[in-house]
């Protein structure tokens, strides 16, 4: 069928004529003699998930006119392509109709061919609109695989973490995030909070290693006036501040043993008792904890309570260091360039191949945070529209190669076999290209791989 059409016109002869005409052309035609009846039919079609493809709407009708009907019900009519009809056509009427959402305007009386041609154009427009919407949805799905909250990545390891984090956001469970400094533990926590049903409530963040031990209980649970020297008024603790929302306990491995006991009770019972109070208070808090320590080892050494570890370890997300997901560096660099162009008002849009090679070779002990700082510095120091090697920090330009060939052997600083294999592959390709003076056909023969494979790997490793 060519489409489903609703004809809205108070003239019975016009409705009858259009129904016969459009039915012959393959359309399914339905009619409404008034605006009130039209609204009922459009709403029923939407409710049945079968909206009209096209609506032919007369401008002059008793009661409410067509322009007002379209203006007041624009959201209801938006899934359909609306064409206005009028025997009193004018440029102002046509402009007003299209300003309120109509696709086009046709003056009565019209020829049969004029209406068929207009509907044909409207059909092409609708098909293009549907195709654009489909492409937009597909792009959104693809982008969702590489993005979680304010984090971007393309490595399989991080995409798996994004999937787990999205699932964790659906449920009020305790999450333990493990990873080195700068890997993005707090960003994951904020993403889980933002995508949860608590996203409109507050997320309270506390660095457990930054609170003096003597003040910890008061900071976490609050205190009553006069509970100790200096307690001049009642104070709410962090748990009460986060009531209804999320409490993010960063570096939880730094908590001293006495505080671990009290935290365990608060997590198990959902209750806190301020220092100096005689009654407990019920709190509804979702806890996300993070640490750069190995808590299993801490438990074995007696520095972290085993029962608290098991209470926190409902769902663990382990963030890999940046050197183990080298393929994320280019997409992270692009993300940071766009971020700093917005905040600094700069126009640095790319990174030179030499600078990118240095960024890929760096071990990044500070992980993503160190990379972000390096890009920010480079944007500030760049004179042109791209980051050059000279604008990178000395820690990047002067960092020792993680790879070298010596006496035909391969030396790699680190323990990851995957990373070592990638570095070795790049070194061998560089060596073959140098030997053949850039002749890729001869280089592929030396490497014993196909020419297309060599081109693909050169692109992967940013080799020219």
What is the number of H-type helices and E-type strands within the chain? 20, 20
- Asked if residue 179 and residue 80 are part of one domain, the reply reads no
- Asked if residue 308 and residue 170 are part of one domain, the reply reads yes
- Asked if residue 178 and residue 89 are part of one domain, the reply reads no
Which residues form the domain of 94? 3-136
- Asked if residue 81 and residue 59 are part of one domain, the reply reads yes
- Asked if residue 388 and residue 258 are part of one domain, the reply reads no
- Per the CB < 8 A criterion, the answer to whether 18 and 116 are in contact is no
Mean pLDDT for the stretch of residues 394-405 = 61
- Asked if residue 310 and residue 335 are part of one domain, the reply reads no
- Asked if residue 383 and residue 414 are part of one domain, the reply reads no
Q: Is residue 235 part of a domain?
A: yes
Q: Is residue 441 part of a domain?
A: yes
- Per the CB < 8 A criterion, the answer to whether 291 and 178 are in contact is yes
- Of 294, 320, 346, the one marking the end of a domain is 320
Pick the residue with more confidence: 269 or 133?
Answer: 269
Q: Is residue 144 part of a domain?
A: no
Give the model's pLDDT for residue 127.
84
**C-beta neighbour count of 18 within 10 angstroms:** 20
- Of 286, 320, 354, the one marking the end of a domain is 320
**Residue 405 clears pLDDT 70, i.e. is over it:** no
- Asked if residue 112 and residue 66 are part of one domain, the reply reads yes
Q: Is residue 142 part of a domain?
A: no
Strands (E), 208-349: 222-223, 235-236, 246-250, 271-272, 281-282, 286-291, 315-318
- Asked if residue 328 and residue 448 are part of one domain, the reply reads no
Mean pLDDT for the stretch of residues 254-273 = 92
Pick the residue with more confidence: 412 or 374?
Answer: 374
Task: Give the up-direction half-sphere exposure of residue 464: CA atoms within 13 A in the CB hemisphere.
Answer: 5
What is the percent of the chain with per-residue pLDDT over 70, rounded to a whole number?
91
- Of 397, 422, 437, the one marking the end of a domain is 397
| Residue in the structure block whose two tokens are 């007002």 | 68
Please give the angle made by the CA atoms of 89, 93 and 98, to the nearest 5 degrees: 120
- Asked if residue 409 and residue 311 are part of one domain, the reply reads no
Mean pLDDT for the stretch of residues 121-138 = 76
Mean pLDDT, rounded, of the chain: 86
- Asked if residue 237 and residue 307 are part of one domain, the reply reads yes
Confidence of residue 399 (pLDDT cuts 50, 70, 90): low
CA separation for the pair 160, 153 (Å, rounded): 10
CA separation for the pair 155, 147 (Å, rounded): 11
- Domain containing residue 171: CATH number: 3.40.50.300
- Per the CB < 8 A criterion, the answer to whether 360 and 351 are in contact is no
- Asked if residue 238 and residue 354 are part of one domain, the reply reads no
């Amino acid at each position: 069928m060519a489409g489903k059409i609703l004809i809205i016109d108070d003239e019975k002869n016009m409705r009858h004529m259009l129904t016969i005409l459009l039915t012959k052309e393959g359309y399914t035609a339905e009619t409404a003699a008034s605006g009130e009846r039209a609204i009922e039919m459009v709403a029923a079609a939407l409710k049945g998930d079968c909206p009209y493809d096209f609506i032919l709407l007369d401008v002059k009708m008793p009661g409410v006119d067509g322009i007002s009907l379209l203006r007041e019900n624009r959201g209801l009519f938006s899934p359909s392509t609306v064409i206005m009809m009028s025997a009193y056509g004018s440029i102002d009427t046509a402009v007003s109709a299209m300003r309120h959402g109509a696709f086009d305007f046709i003056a009565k009386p019209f020829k049969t061919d004029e209406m068929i041609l207009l509907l044909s154009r409207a059909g092409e427009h609708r098909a293009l609109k549907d195709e654009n919407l489909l492409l937009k949805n597909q792009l959104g799905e693809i982008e969702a695989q590489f993005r979680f909250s304010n984090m971007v990545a393309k490595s399989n390891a991080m995409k798996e973490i994004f999937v787990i984090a999205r699932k964790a956001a659906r449920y009020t469970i305790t999450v333990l995030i493990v990873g080195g400094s700068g890997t993005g533990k707090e960003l994951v926590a904020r993403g889980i909070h933002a995508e949860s049903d608590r996203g409109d409530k507050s997320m309270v963040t506390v660095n457990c290693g930054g609170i003096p031990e003597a003040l910890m209980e008061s900071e976490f649970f609050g205190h009553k006036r006069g509970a100790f020297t200096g307690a001049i008024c009642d104070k709410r603790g962090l748990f009460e501040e986060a009531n209804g929302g999320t409490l993010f306990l960063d570096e939880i491995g730094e908590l001293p043993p006495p505080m671990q006991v009290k935290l365990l009770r608060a997590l198990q019972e959902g209750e806190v008792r301020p220092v100096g109070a005689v009654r407990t208070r019920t709190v509804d808090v979702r806890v996300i904890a993070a640490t750069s320590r190995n808590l299993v080892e801490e438990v074995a050494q007696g520095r972290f309570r085993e029962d608290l570890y098991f209470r926190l370890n409902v769902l663990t997300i382990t963030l890999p260091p940046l050197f183990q997901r080298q393929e994320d560096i280019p997409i992270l660099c692009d993300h940071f360039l766009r971020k700093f162009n917005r905040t600094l008002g700069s126009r640095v849009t790319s990174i030179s191949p030499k600078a990118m090679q240095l960024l890929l070779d760096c071990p990044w002990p500070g992980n993503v945070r160190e990379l972000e700082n390096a890009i920010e510095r480079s944007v500030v120091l760049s004179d042109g529209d791209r980051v050059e090697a000279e604008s990178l920090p000395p820690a990047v330009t002067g960092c020792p190669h993680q790879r070298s060939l010596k006496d035909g052997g391969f030396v790699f600083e680190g323990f990851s076999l995957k990373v070592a294999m990638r570095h070795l592959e790049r070194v061998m390709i560089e060596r073959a290209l140098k030997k053949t003076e850039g002749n890729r056909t001869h280089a592929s023969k030396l490497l014993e791989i196909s020419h297309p494979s060599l081109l693909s790997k050169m692109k992967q490793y940013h080799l020219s």
